[in-house]
Structure 1
Amino acid sequence: MQSNTKKLAGNALVYGLFGLLQKGLGFFLLPIYASLLDTEELGIISTSTAVISFLVILFGLSLRGSTAYYYYKFKDQDIDYVKKFFGTNFSFILLFTIFGILLLLIGKNWILDVLFKNIPFKPYILLSLASVLLQPVYLFYQSILKAKHQAKKASLLDFLFFGAMASITIILIVVFNFKAEGALLGNSIASFLVFIVSVIGIRKEITLCFDITLLKTSLKYSLPILPHNLSGWAMNMVDKLMLNNLNSLSVVALFDVGAQIGKVVNLISLGVNSAYSPWFFEQVKTQPEAKGTIVNITDKIILLYACVAVAASLLSPEVLVIIGKPSYYESWKVVPFIATAFVINGFYFTYSNVFFLEKTKYLPFLTVTGAITNLTLNYFMIPAYGIFGAALASLTTKIVFTLLTYIICQRIYPIPYHRLHLTVIFGACFLLSCLPFLIQDYLQEISLVQRILIKVLTLALIFIPIIYKNASQIKAIIKK
């Protein structure tokens, strides 16, 4: 039992570290985009990336979700069955993706022109479809590696993809003066590289075949998961498509740049959660005083996220002046909403582990509800308020989704969280994050360096009392 726990924690650490590196690579591209590309060019990249993610999920049919289940069910009984099962899934994913892309090309006027509105077919949509063709196989191979607990190999493959994509994109844009096509070409080349590596690696894991009975078994398990996965995408990325369809590509770019800065909170919370999840399960199963410990740790974690959100929001106008063209300066106005949304989402991470105490049946309902909420809010708010509408829709969706999941989690495994205390943190976080709306116009009359010094001093005045008050507990958390 102890060795399994250590293995789980070790794998979580590996996935967490490489996940941070991947997110960091994407964040690293932001100054390149904002300084060298016009808003319409970045809008093409943002919209195309969102569509690629959607189509990859759709064409994968969540078949990789069945990988771990059937691997553990049959690996000790009939390994040949497992290889045929994987081989059938591999063949079907490849064929279904090809069929899906052909269908998109045939129905270009009704499907592609809607998804990629305002984006020319050549070269942007073609490059996007190349990435869609290649990525499902790579993701399926990833699921096999993760099912077999080959965390380092799986993470290295992920890092190869994101590292190659970032490197090629930078070379094409900075050295060869490519625009949006440089980023999409970088994505498709990186997809091709990991596709080749995946095909080579998967040969030992499968028996290439196409067994209808095995396929039915796999689809019976995976298709119910598909709405959940698509809903997860809709909660986080549909706003880009709707901004493009209801407004313009330039507005997509402004929102995306601000959202990337606000998502630094998500970057921190994903890293923390990779270590928190195995710790949570260990506490629940082995510690009689687990609930009290979980509550206290949660308070400190949320306070950390709130501090990051306030810092990101307060400094975002100056960050954009440093890294971006003047056309991107207004992007800071969405940062407070997005940063606060991910502070609230960070709270969801701390208690949602309860669902994995054999209660995952609730997740599809919750994610579908969240997706419908986000779609509805974006539909009404974007035409009226533009990027503010999308930002407010994102924040409201996170609040609704977090409240619903919290209520259900408390019924499954009640934990006496300090709700009033957490509400005060969320409220203070949002109000402090919105300070630039009050002071930015006045600060414009002084130099950039002076503005940064004033804001750093302000952050110090906010954070030093918090750090002083929680010093001993912070040290204890770090030690654990």
Structure 2
Amino acid sequence: MENMGTNDKTREKKAGNRVLKAGIGYTIGNYLLKGLSFFTIPIFTRLLTTQDYGKYNVFLSYENIIFVLIGFAIHSSYKNARYRYGLASEGAEKGKDYHSYVSTTICLVLCSTAGWLLAVNIFGDAIENFLQLDKVCLNLLVLYAFGNAVMTCYNTDAGIDYRYQKFIKVSGINAILNILLSLFLIVFVFQKDKYIGRILGSTIAIVVVAVNIIIEFWKREKPCKDLSLLKWGVKYSIPIIPHGLSQIVLNQFDRIMIMKMGTDENAGIYSFAYNIYAIVQVTANSLDSVWGPWFYQKRKDNDLFSIRKYSGYYASYMALFSSAIIFMAPEIVKILASENYWDAIYSVIPIVAGGYFAFLYTIPSCVEYYYGKTQYIASGTIMAAIVNIILNFVFIKKYGYIAAAYTTLAAYFLYFLLHYLIAIKVEGKILFSNKVMLGCSAGIFSAVILGNVLIDHIILRILVVLLLCGAGLIHEEKTLGILKRFWRSNR
């Protein structure tokens, strides 16, 4: 019995190290990938006018909407499908296992893309007038969304088994191709309408990567003939579509409204501010790739103590990290862009704070996904998105585009709060610490206020950042010792 207990502890330690290594690997890999983008931001902001930069980012905003529709949000079903269907190597029926399911979902994405391309070319004139994009850009929009949908499926699939190396490889190829093709097209081909060169370079890169992903999926396992698997997946994912669209409204629609109610230049400056928000987003997405599968396993094992404990650490460390970004935002903006973009400083602080609450939502939302209550997920996000649209309409008109950053912060806080309450309803009890969640929320709002007060005092802001980092590191090493464990596991 003693040996059995020791073996269980050994297996648990190995599993923990695997999760830890994957989490750090995803984060480092994503930073390296984002570093490529950050390195090229000063180049693109100098090659593109603020108008061109605004048009490209509005194109991306539309793409994020079409991506959800083209992909049916089918990737959201993968975690559940992994436990529902299992693998052939685990005894599941070959042709009806998880890998067959994934291959079949790709067929759905391909059929959807063909339908969208047909619609765009038949009803092109009406869509052109509504979106203010020409027919070439509309076709590129659909193709880019297709590539994004396939890549999201691939990254979700890789994340389930903590295969962060595959994610880094595919995303790295896409990022490098995107940058090189865009620079070539902007400098040598589209010297007048440079935003088209940026759009075309991005689209070609992601489509090339997507085609290779599809080949890899179908080599691993052919699509299944039993459509009952796909019917389940569509039924699970359909309610996620309005949720995904509402997320886009929260994350992107402010830029579209600024362009409609203001100018392309304002949209470009405001869009640039989201490059700093991306620091928080990349970190959150990296960790969520590991947090989601870990939560599923712990909830399946009914290990509620670990969920409560580590969700508290997770929320707290991300709050410290986001606060540090808020205090260093003015310097980050000045390093990354020319003086034409420096007005973005006043938008960055609330946008980064909103990004923290976008991250915080991922903690309670795991409960909704675990139980398959996707209709609840959609309702909470739709309510937050409606509030965001109303606030944007009122305050952008009255106070200008900077107001959109604060309305987005308010909407994201509501977004987290609604999903937290929904998670309690679905679970039937509170899995997470109310005290920690309240403390983190108060801390972020305090950082927004203090960040604005100290916006012209760089020395004081640096001292605050050093204090935050020091306190976080000391607490982490006393409670978790992640850095020490990671160092030991790689020796």
- Which among 120, 127, 144 is matched to residue 131 of structure 1? 144
User: Is the 8 Å Cα contact of residues 87 and 207 (structure 1) preserved in structure 2?
Assistant: yes
Q: 1:191 to 1:225 in 2, by over 3 A?
A: same
- Which among 376, 383, 402 is matched to residue 388 of structure 1? 402
User: Is the 8 Å Cα contact of residues 306 and 429 (structure 1) preserved in structure 2?
Assistant: yes
2:57 matches 1:62: no
- Which among 390, 411, 435 is matched to residue 397 of structure 1? 411
Q: 1:337 to 1:127 in 2, by over 3 A?
A: same
2:426 matches 1:415: no
2:108 matches 1:95: no
Q: Shift of residue 344 of structure 1?
A: 3.6
How many residues align? The count is: 457
How many Å separate the matches in 1 of 2:95 and 2:134?
47
- Which among 469, 472, 475 is matched to residue 473 of structure 1? 475
User: Is the 8 Å Cα contact of residues 67 and 148 (structure 2) preserved in structure 1?
Assistant: yes
How many Å separate the matches in 2 of 1:468 and 1:346?
23
Q: Which residue of 2 aligns with 1:442?
A: none
How many Å separate the matches in 1 of 2:106 and 2:373?
26
Name the aligned partner's letter for residue 340 of structure 1.
A
Q: Shift of residue 470 of structure 1?
A: 6.0
Name the aligned partner's letter for residue 344 of structure 2.
S
How many Å separate the matches in 1 of 2:272 and 2:69?
26
Q: Shift of residue 395 of structure 1?
A: 0.9
Q: Shift of residue 366 of structure 1?
A: 1.9
Q: Shift of residue 156 of structure 1?
A: 1.8
User: Is the 8 Å Cα contact of residues 22 and 162 (structure 1) preserved in structure 2?
Assistant: yes
After TM superposition, the structure 1 = structure 2 runs for residues 114-193 of structure 1, keeping only pairs within 5 Å, are 114-115=130-131, 117=132, 119-122=133-136, 124-146=137-159, 150-173=163-186, 178=191, 179-193=194-208
How many Å separate the matches in 1 of 2:214 and 2:163?
17
How many Å separate the matches in 2 of 1:237 and 1:30?
19
Q: Shift of residue 94 of structure 1?
A: 1.2
Q: Shift of residue 363 of structure 1?
A: 2.4
Q: TM-score, normalised by structure 1?
A: 0.81
Moved more, 352-361 or 31-40: 352-361
Structure 1: which 5+ residue stretches go unaligned? 440-453
User: Is the 8 Å Cα contact of residues 94 and 136 (structure 1) preserved in structure 2?
Assistant: no
How many Å separate the matches in 1 of 2:296 and 2:108?
36
- The Cα offsets for residues 47-90 of structure 1, whole Å up to 9 and x where unpaired, read as 11111221122011123334454454153332123476555433
Q: 1:144 to 1:6 in 2, by over 3 A?
A: same
Q: TM-score, normalised by structure 2?
A: 0.79
Q: Shift of residue 308 of structure 1?
A: 2.0
Moved more, 76-85 or 389-398: 76-85
Q: Which residue of 1 aligns with 2:26?
A: 15
- The Cα offsets for residues 164-220 of structure 1, whole Å up to 9 and x where unpaired, read as 212322344457674212211211221232133123213323435776655544422
How many Å separate the matches in 1 of 2:398 and 2:96?
56
After TM superposition, the structure 1 = structure 2 runs for residues 322-337 of structure 1, keeping only pairs within 5 Å, are 322-337=335-350
Moved more, 234-243 or 377-386: 377-386
Moved more, 390-399 or 406-415: 406-415
User: Is the 8 Å Cα contact of residues 20 and 271 (structure 1) preserved in structure 2?
Assistant: no
2:387 matches 1:373: yes
User: Is the 8 Å Cα contact of residues 295 and 416 (structure 1) preserved in structure 2?
Assistant: no
Q: Shift of residue 242 of structure 1?
A: 2.2
Structure 2: which 5+ residue stretches go unaligned? 1-10, 483-491
User: Is the 8 Å Cα contact of residues 246 and 382 (structure 2) preserved in structure 1?
Assistant: yes
User: Is the 8 Å Cα contact of residues 454 and 460 (structure 2) preserved in structure 1?
Assistant: no
Moved more, 261-270 or 303-312: 261-270
2:235 matches 1:235: no
Which SS does the other structure have where 1:109 is aligned? helix
How many Å separate the matches in 2 of 1:74 and 1:293?
27
How many Å separate the matches in 2 of 1:253 and 1:182?
17
Which SS does the other structure have where 2:435 is aligned? coil
Q: Shift of residue 229 of structure 1?
A: 2.1
Q: Which residue of 2 aligns with 1:221?
A: 236
